[in-house]
């Protein structure tokens, strides 16, 4: 059973398109995150939700809009995709906002 | 912003050798975590450290939370081929408002030659 699952695994799209990445966790955790990993493997937090409420928003362009319909799901919608958005996006969850993270397997986004 | 300096950047070792990597910061951290990432997968937690001076083992892995709260190291003993991957340190800054703003190091890429 996958603890943190995200779809799709790979996403290839044209510049200017709008796309979404979905994430679900079955760990019963209260807090979920989106991280971006660039081509040099550097991981940086983008957003965090605790019980469906946004608690961290790390200077991410407003083309990126997270949505948490319930505490087990955190989706990421990206408008007007740009070349620089190409990266691997990881969803993660934790028991609380100050606990260790469990990561999904990532979504590799390629913008052409 | 805050940064973690992780070294070495990469290592190429023989099977059976011991490995050591570390992370340092200019600011104080409450928590240090060590993750491993395999190709095409997300980071997997190896060891979590919560107190200055804490030394914790997980099988062949040992990690320590530095006394100054500004550094941590990870040792792998008797390396095997499946140890190959990227190892990340991550720290929770002391003044992060109580929220999980883990800062990650740039990673240590480990290659093990059989």
What distance in Å separates the CA atoms of residue B6 and residue B47, rounded to the nearest whole number? Answer: 16
For chain A, give the percent of residues with pLDDT over 90.
75
Q: What would the pLDDT profile of B41-62 be if each residue is shown by its tens digit? A: 999 999 999 999 999 999 999 9
Q: What would the pLDDT profile of A20-32 be if each residue is shown by its tens digit? A: 999 999 999 999 9
Q: How far is A74 from chain B (nearest CA, A)?
A: 16
Of the candidates A97, A101, A106, the beta carbon closest to that of B99 is on: A97
Residues of A at the B interface, defined by Cβ within 8 angstroms: 4, 31, 33, 40-45, 48, 50, 55-56, 58, 90, 92, 94, 97-106
The stretch B69-79 carries a mean pLDDT of 96
Residue B1's pLDDT is 57
Cβ distance of B99 and A56 shorter than 8 Å? yes
Residue A44 CA: distances (Å) to CA of A6, B63, B102, B113: 18, 23, 8, 31
Q: What would the pLDDT profile of A57-112 be if each residue is shown by its tens digit? A: 887 899 999 999 999 999 999 999 999 999 999 999 998 777 788 999 999 999 99
The stretch B29-46 carries a mean pLDDT of 94
């Amino acid at each position: 059973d996958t603890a943190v699952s995200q779809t799709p695994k790979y996403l290839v799209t044209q510049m200017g398109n709008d796309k979404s990445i979905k994430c679900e966790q079955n760990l019963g955790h209260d807090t979920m995150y989106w991280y971006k990993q660039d081509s040099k493997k550097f991981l940086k937090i983008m957003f965090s939700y605790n019980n469906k409420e946004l608690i961290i928003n790390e200077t991410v362009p407003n083309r990126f809009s997270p949505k948490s319909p319930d505490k087990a799901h955190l989706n990421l919608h990206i408008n007007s995709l740009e070349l620089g958005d190409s990266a691997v996006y990881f969803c993660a969850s934790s028991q609380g906002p100050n606990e260790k993270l469990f990561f999904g397997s990532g979504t590799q986004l390629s913008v052409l | 912003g805050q940064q973690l300096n992780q070294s070495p950047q990469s290592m190429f070792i023989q099977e059976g050798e011991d490995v050591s990597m570390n992370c340092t910061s200019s600011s104080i951290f409450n928590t240090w975590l060590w993750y491993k990432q395999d190709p095409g997968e997300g980071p997997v937690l190896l060891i979590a450290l919560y107190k200055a001076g804490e030394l914790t083992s997980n099988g062949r892995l040992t990690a320590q939370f530095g006394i100054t709260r500004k550094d941590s190291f990870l040792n792998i003993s008797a390396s095997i081929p499946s140890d190959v991957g990227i190892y990340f340190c991550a720290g929770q800054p002391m003044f992060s408002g109580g929220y999980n703003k883990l800062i990650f190091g740039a990673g240590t890429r480990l290659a093990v030659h059989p």
